[in-house]
Chain A
Amino acid sequence: MTQHRMSRRRIMKAGAAAGLLSALPAPFVARFALGQSAFDWKRFKGEKIDVLLVKNPRSDLMQAAEKEFLELTGITVSSEQVPEQQQRQKAMIEFSSGKPTFDVAHLSMHVQKRLSEKGNWLEDLRPMLADGSLTTPDLDFNDFGKAGLNFCTAADGKQNAIPTFVDYWILYYNKELFEQKGVAYPTSMDEVYTAAQKLTDTSKGVYGFVSRGLKNANVPVWTSWLLGQGVETVSKDGKLLTDTPEAIWAGEQYKRMNREFAPPGTVGFNWNECQTSFATGRAAMWLDGIGFATPLEDPSKSKVVGKVGYGVVPKGPKAQHSAIFGDGLGISRTSTKKGAAWFYVQFITNKQNQLNILKNGAGSPARNSAFANQEVVRESKFGKQWFDCVLESAKVGRPGLPVIIPVTEFRDVFGVALTNMISGADPAAELKKATETFQPVLHKSEQG
């Protein structure tokens, strides 16, 4: 069986071509790829690649598509799904060893973007994107939304991964409870507060608002409020903006919403407890990622089927943004089967497979074309509002976590501060303390 491997010379040639192409806009790359004639999917026939995935419904779909990929390319895929936290540890340790056991890895780019860049984990995909013999004309690179691509593109322009999924934070609301109290969907963050006030009825066990209180998990709630001030937690030059007046305002918003209108015990709530409160009709609003429509519209898991409203995060004092989080598929820089791996990445992120994510309620795919499919919109049990919410959120999407190496430690330190706020601590004092604790960690992370 003849095996076609990419030679160093070929990669260098392609790299030179990519160097020229990188100066040109993405549409050119797409046109270049689209201009190719018959594409040889069997080029790497007989090869076998290893893929490291995160355990979730999207990975189930990816694994289900492996058979079709084998028939198309003759490439065998050996993939494994590992729970998210353990998968990140595995990826970290194996990439750092210099000899990962996988060729393709799923990466949570909102956590691992900067880490993967600094560790030089991933192959720059630009040379392969520019090579017509390696990139299918059907790729349609421009179809990937800007939000997902931003996560997968390094500051220096390297295309380190191809986006697979983008999570937009939205405001779920219980239409029935809103109607009963005559409350309109809030158009500003201040109105979220007043709406929650009207909707809270402790005598009936109904609370106006619920969001994550558990440390680490709670940080995106705070950053969602902070984005309403038009700022993020770290400036472009790497300075922490976490004890600014805007950050303190967001902290106060977080504190008052959770202390005054959230169910008891919210201090320990992660998304699953929030989901339970909302799905049982005990919470009128829930700020979280867009991926929970499936359980909320499932009669076996939810009491609010057909009553769920999906709203874009209301505007803050200075801006309106939806906190976004994104995943991608990257190819290990040290892989010896980069060609076959690239074929897999192209196939698994093609239009049909991205549409399958939407069809199966497995989250919001990174390709725009998936949302333009009217048949899927009509047949979806989520309703048109959900699709509108995704598209509107995409227009105002902004990273919900800083693009730094110690993202997990950031979430831990500020997560503890936020938890303390729910317990009554002063936001300004807590954020000052957390900033002082985290500043040296951030400084050290970029050294060495």
Chain B
Amino acid sequence: MSVEHNAGSLPGRRGGMAAPATPGARQAPASTPYVYDVTRKYWLFIAPATIVVGLVIVFPWIFTLWMSAHEWNVTGDHAFVALANYKKLLTDQRFLDSMWRTFWFTLLATLIPIVLGVWAALVFHREFPFRGILRTVFVMPMMATPVAIALVWTMMFHPQLGVLNYLLSLVGIAPFAWVYDPNTVIPTLVLVEVWHWTPLVMLIVLGGLAGLPTDPYEAALIDGASSWQMFRYITWPLILPYVMIALVIRTIDSLKVFDTIAVISQGGPGTASETLNYFLYLQAFQFYNLGYASAVVVIFFVIIIALSLLLLYLRQRTKWTD
């Protein structure tokens, strides 16, 4: 895009609104002060956003990178340690465990809501009595504050007095340890996430279903296609872009989940539910190892960017136009 091309379409400095550029219209020469002034005006428009982005995104990132190369303790001096924090992370078993735990949690807390959300969207897309009320009830968990939800679930998970074990006892099932057992804490936390965020997936997919054309279905009916075949070969390919959007949102949300874990299990029992984000919180705000925590942030950022790019690439491939 050349400066000369845009010059004619922008308001002139002295002449008020300039006429739209049309073939044959007289254009200002590139070397005139007029064009130079217009270019400067561009910077005026861009500058506020550039300054804000620079201050709130670019600078913190450069600063974080810089901190990650330092032994940064809030009570003492800062010493340059180059890549030592990163090397230490590679041998820190607790960090490595938290990373794999994060992937496991993310996988479960993403795929299960996707499956259930798509299923719920298909159900609520059909006409049936009280559909509106039931749909409203279904999306209610999503409206609640995560911390409040986590506190309620914590009470329900109490092994002796929680309502969940009481309900299990009514059908003769032995009490369950829920978040109070290292082996069951992750699936239990996933349960909370699923309950909370399946409605979001449902809403996204429902939006996609509402916009689907009816022609393919009519043609399929005439051809004698079954319900499953219509879903498999018409609905699924058409809603896939929406599912991919839900997948991207859920993946990023699951990767950075903090509030649910902090309130319900505090990373425990032991370190059984300590995800990367919680590990990062401990290092930065409990142990005040800011340099080390910054290195975790950088790695966390790289992981999120890599996963986001992968998912966006997959989304591109599922676009209808492809």
**Chain A residues in the interface with B (C-beta under 8 A):** 89, 92-93, 96, 115, 118-119, 205, 213-216, 263-270, 273, 276-277, 280, 282, 405-406, 408-409, 412, 416, 419-420, 422-423, 447-448
Contact = CB atoms under 8 A, between A and B. Distances in A.
Interface in B171-204: 175, 177-182, 185
Nearest to B77: A448
Contacts of B287: 406, 408-409, 412
Nearest to B284: A89
B74 A214 contact: no
A269 B267 CA distance: 13
Given A266-B180, A419-B269, A92 B74 contact: yes
6 contacts: A96-B74, A205-B160, A268-B179, A276-B160, A409-B286, A419-B270
Interface in B266-294: 266-271, 282, 285-288
Contacts of A448: 73, 75-77, 79
Contact of B266 (A93, A214, A282, A422): A214
B158 A267 contact: no
Interface string B241-268: 0000000000000000000000001111
Contacts of B181: 265, 267-268
Nearest to A418: B270
Contact of B74 (A93, A263, A412, A419): A93
Given A265-B180, A448-B75, 12 more contacts: A92-B288, A119-B75, A214-B266, A214-B268, A215-B271, A265-B159, A267-B182, A267-B270, A268-B179, A280-B160, A282-B160, A408-B286
A14 B292 CA distance: 44
Contacts of B75: 96, 115, 118-119, 405, 448
Contacts of B160: 205, 263-265, 276-277, 280, 282
A202 B259 CA distance: 34
Contacts of B77: 448
Contacts of B267: 215
B81 to A, nearest CB: 12
Max chain A Cβ within 10 angstroms of own Cβ: one of B270, B287, B288? B270
Nearest to B285: A89
Contact of B180 (A115, A119, A267): A267
Contact of B175 (A264, A266, A267, A268): A264
Nearest to B79: A448
Given A96-B75, A115-B75, A267 B288 contact: no
B158 A273 contact: yes
Contacts of A93: 74
B161 interface: yes
Nearest to B175: A264
B269 A264 contact: no
Contacts of A267: 180-182, 268-270
Nearest to B289: A409
A419 B175 CA distance: 21
Nearest to B182: A423
B272 to A, nearest CB: 8
Contacts of A419: 268-270
A34 B175 CA distance: 63
Contacts of B271: 215, 416
Contacts, number: 86
A420 B270 contact: yes
B269 A214 contact: yes
Nearest to A408: B286
A416 B273 CA distance: 12
A92 B286 CA distance: 10
Contact of B269 (A89, A213, A263): A213
A408 B286 CA distance: 6
A403 to B, nearest CB: 15
B180 A412 contact: no
B254 to A, nearest CB: 22
Q: Give the residue among A205, A264, A408 with the most B Cβ atoms within 10 A.
A: A264
Nearest to B287: A409
Given A92-B288, A412-B286, A416-B271, A264 B180 contact: yes
A280 B161 contact: yes
A412 B177 CA distance: 22
Which of A96, A265, A412, A416 has the largest number of chain B CB atoms within 10 A? A265
B89 to A, nearest CB: 15
A448 B185 CA distance: 40
A412 B94 CA distance: 12
Contact of A215 (B175, B185, B269): B269
A377 B205 CA distance: 65
B74 A268 contact: no
A422 B123 CA distance: 46
Nearest to B155: A276
Nearest to B159: A265
Interface in B30-78: 73-77
Which of A266, A273, A447 is the most central at the interface, judged by chain B CB atoms within 10 Å of its CB? A273
A267 B269 CA distance: 6
Nearest to B282: A412
Given A416-B270, A447-B76, A268 B285 contact: no
Contacts of A119: 75
Contacts of A264: 159-160, 175, 177, 180
A332 B288 CA distance: 21
A268 B268 contact: yes
Contacts of A269: 180
Nearest to A441: B287
A436 B68 CA distance: 25
B269 A423 contact: yes
A270 B179 CA distance: 13
Contacts of A265: 158-160, 177-178, 180-181
Nearest to A214: B268
A205 to B, nearest CB: 7
Contacts of B179: 268
Nearest to A447: B76
B263 to A, nearest CB: 12
A263 B159 CA distance: 8
A448 B266 CA distance: 31
A215 B268 contact: yes
A387 B65 CA distance: 55
A268 B269 contact: yes
Nearest to B178: A265
A282 B162 CA distance: 13
By CB atoms of chain A within 10 A, which of B79, B159, B179, B181 has the most?
B159
A330 to B, nearest CB: 16
A423 B286 contact: no
Nearest to B267: A215
A87 to B, nearest CB: 12
Nearest to A207: B160
